[in-house]
Amino acid sequence: MLPPGGSFIPLFTTFVHPSAQQRVAAVLQSTFLSEGKLVKEFETRLAAELGMVNPAALNSGTSALHLALEVAGVGVGNEVILAPQTFIASALTVVQVGAKPVFADIQYNTGNIDPTDIEHRITPRTKAIMAVHWGGYPCDMVEIKAIAKKHNLLVIEDAAHSPGATYQGQHIGSISDFTCFSFQAIKHLTTGDGGALCALDPEKAREVFRRRWFGIDRANSPTNEVGEREYDLFDVGYKYHLNDYSAALGLANLDGFQERMTRRRTLVEQYKEGLQKVPGITHFERKTDRESAHWLFGFHVENRLQFIRALKGNGIAASVVHDGIDNNTLFGGKRSELSNQRRFDETQIHIPLHDDLTSEQVAYIIDVIKQGW
Ligand SMILES: *Cc1c(COP(=O)(O)O)cnc(C)c1O
């Protein structure tokens, strides 16, 4: 069978708003390509429209994670507790600052870090807990923050999958010490590559803005008469800022963002209803106190390889997206004894969810799945 329209249905697509062509062209025309007023405008809109606190626009989500760890003071000899169910960048940046990722188990029914598996992993070297909102569904932040407070740890959210998500009425990006977003091409809101780092503490936020540009406080380092910018570099900064032509794409893609999120929710409802009682499928848990950003639509499935083949044979992508990352040589080189993560690795699967997906395609995908595998 072929999907409606006849072409393969991918897991992700890249959304580029029709107005982006003109907006980016205007930046190219101006020849001002570096970080300027469009980056500022992009940050203003991220705060106003997505509820991010003090967002600093950066050149990637990985840069956001790295800078968050730096500004949080995580360094050599420290440990950061996180779940393996994520993309490699989450733990890689911990290693980049000289610290050690310590893996805690996930909840089998969400893929998120299990708050009950954190506390016994805390040592005098532990500096932070990193919470990854798998697929866009927010972690148990109340429980995580309580543990962090009790042990004087910082909380860093890897919110690469969850711009626009809310938790107990609060926007993701307004909850923890640091929140990191990604604007990579297949994420909800793309700038080509890009990211944002939100620091709740205004002092830390100023540090983020300074250290994303070499460690120089640009606004307060005027150029003197001989043409030299006046500053004294006193700590390590990075070349992590976003630029104006990427921001122009981001600004274009912010138009209609909420409407696209509403569409995603509608498609997810259609999936959930259509796949409610399909034998062999166990849905993830979804609590009513939080709203996922729905980057992914996933569930647990029996006979996974057959499921993937059956979908592929009918022109539909299906993918695990990521397995647990704890087996990588850099992080120790062996599968840790995390029973939920190991079970999750065996049964999790994700099916298409993106801005180009139609309800007709979703109906077709549901039909194909219902025929069995
Ligand atoms: C995409 C992603 C990142 C990295 O973001 P980039 O913008 O590609 O650097 C980090 N963490 C998770 C969970 C991601 O999915």
Residue 116 CA, ligand 1 centroid: distance in Å:
25
pLDDT at 335 over 80: no
Average pLDDT estimate for 231-252: 97
pLDDT at res. 8: 96
Residue 187 CA, ligand 1 centroid: distance in Å:
8
Q: Categorise residue 31: left if φ over 0, alpha if ψ from -120 to 50, beta otherwise.
A: left
Question: What does the pLDDT look like over 355-370, one tens digit per residue?
Answer: 999 999 999 999 999 9
Question: What does the pLDDT look like over 16-55, one tens digit per residue?
Answer: 999 999 999 999 999 999 999 999 999 999 999 999 999 9
Residue 75 CA, ligand 1 centroid: distance in Å:
21
Rg (CA), the chain: 21
Residue 14 CA, ligand 1 centroid: distance in Å:
15
- Mutate which of 134, 180, 187, 295 for ligand 1? The one with the most ligand atoms within 8 Å of its CB, which is 187
- Mutate which of 59, 181, 182 for ligand 1? The one with the most ligand atoms within 8 Å of its CB, which is 182
Where in the chain are all domains bearing CATH 3.40.640.10?
20-254
pLDDT at res. 336: 72
Environment class of residue 24 by beta-carbon count within 10 Å: exposed (0-12), middle (13-18) or buried (19+)?
buried
User: Which atom of ligand 1 has the smallest separation from the CA of 183?
Assistant: 7
Residue 325 CA, ligand 1 centroid: distance in Å:
13
pLDDT at res. 334: 73
What does the alpha-carbon distance between residue 202 and residue 198 come to, in Å, rounded to a whole number? 10
Residue 183 CA, ligand 1 centroid: distance in Å:
8
Residue bearing the CA closest to ligand 1, atom 7: 61
What does the alpha-carbon distance between residue 166 and residue 174 come to, in Å, rounded to a whole number? 10
Alpha helices in 135-286 (DSSP H): 141-150, 202-211, 244-254, 257-274
pLDDT at res. 25: 98
CATH dotted code for 257-370: 3.90.1150.10
Environment class of residue 7 by beta-carbon count within 10 Å: exposed (0-12), middle (13-18) or buried (19+)?
exposed
Task: Count the alpha carbons within 13 Å of 49 in the hemisphere toward its beta carbon.
Answer: 18
Q: What are the phi and psi torsion angles at 153 (to 5°)?
A: -110, 160
Pocket of ligand 1 (CB under 6 A): 60-62, 86-87, 89-90, 132, 158, 160-161, 182, 184, 193, 195
Question: What does the pLDDT look like over 304-319, one tens digit per residue?
Answer: 999 999 999 999 999 9
Residue bearing the CA closest to ligand 1, atom 5: 61
Confidence of residue 147 (pLDDT cuts 50, 70, 90): very high
Average pLDDT estimate for 240-266: 98
pLDDT at res. 207: 98
For 20-254, give the CATH class: alpha beta
User: Which atom of ligand 1 has the smallest separation from the CA of 193?
Assistant: 7
Question: What does the pLDDT look like over 70-118, one tens digit per residue?
Answer: 999 999 999 999 999 999 999 999 999 999 999 999 999 999 999 999 9
pLDDT at res. 1: 73
Confidence of residue 6 (pLDDT cuts 50, 70, 90): confident
Residue 87 CA, ligand 1 centroid: distance in Å:
6
Residue 131 CA, ligand 1 centroid: distance in Å:
13
pLDDT at 156 over 90: yes
pLDDT at 178 over 90: yes
Q: Residue 162 in contact with residue 295, Cβ under 8 Å?
A: yes
Confidence of residue 2 (pLDDT cuts 50, 70, 90): confident
User: Which atom of ligand 1 has the smallest separation from the CA of 186?
Assistant: 1
pLDDT at res. 5: 79
pLDDT at 3 over 90: no
Where in the chain are all domains bearing CATH 3.90.1150.10?
257-370
Residue 83 CA, ligand 1 centroid: distance in Å:
15
pLDDT at res. 332: 82
Q: Which residue has the higher pLDDT, 62 or 334?
A: 62
User: Which atom of ligand 1 has the smallest separation from the CA of 65?
Assistant: 10
User: Which atom of ligand 1 has the smallest separation from the CA of 182?
Assistant: 7
